[in-house]
A = this chain, B = another copy of it.
């Protein structure tokens, strides 16, 4: 039987006991019916996996005693996706869930000329990342960065491999054929109306390589997920 994993963002690495917050306590004790004496795992989202035993099954303040801590290997190389958030919130939320499951480490909401969504509900999105991390049995929480402008990102990013996926009928290589293993990598995914040709020029001048994600026209969130899968298997 696999042990359940709960999120414990405030736990310290030297903790001997820990009190779950109210939401997590409720989920652990009331929903999943755990009791005093049960062994459960905690994830701090920073790579630590704590083995613990419930010592007080209070449904608002569940207390556990820590019996072990293991630092899981950090994902490497860094895989970052900068993506224009869709107007339809559920589409980008799906993307965040799937990118987390697949193992992407950083997501950057990108504000480009045609981005339709320039506000994000950070707390709601953070909860999606946490759920997907726990669901997929991972211990590193992806980083959701703050909104960033296309121009600033293109001018300042220094990842070893930099790609831009766009739909213009120009020469592009398939991402899976050009990406090299072992290098920190970022890819830019445009909004439904695509990047402008000026933006593409700016990115190419800054050293981004134009790539294709297949022969079909993909929605923004699908392009993001396809990129996540290819980056993960090629890294």
Binding site for B on A (CB under 8 A): 94, 98, 101-103, 135-138, 174, 176, 214-219, 222, 225-226, 229-230, 232-233
Q: Is the CB of B233 within 8 A of A102?
A: no
A184 to chain B, nearest CB (A): 18
Which of A94, A174, A216, A226 counts the most chain B CB atoms within 10 A? A216
Choice from B216, B217, B229 contacting A226 with Cβ under 8 Å: B229
A226 to chain B, nearest CB (A): 5
Choice from B98, B138, B222, B232 contacting A102 with Cβ under 8 Å: B222
Q: Beyond the given A94-B94, A103-B216, could you list 6 further A-B residue pairs with CB under 8 A, ordered by the A residue number?
A: A102-B222, A102-B226, A137-B216, A176-B233, A214-B233, A226-B229
User: In the complex, what residue of chain B is closest to A138 when comparing beta carbons?
Assistant: B216
A37 to chain B, nearest CB (A): 26
Q: Is the CB of B101 within 8 A of A222?
A: yes
Q: Is the CB of A103 within 8 A of B136?
A: no
Complex Cα spacing A230 to B174, Å: 13
Complex Cα spacing A193 to B226, Å: 25
User: In the complex, what residue of chain B is closest to A103 when comparing beta carbons?
Assistant: B216
Given A225-B225, A229-B230, CB of A217 within 8 Å of CB of B136 = yes
Contacts of A136 in B (CB 8 A): 216-219
Q: Is the CB of A174 within 8 A of B233?
A: yes
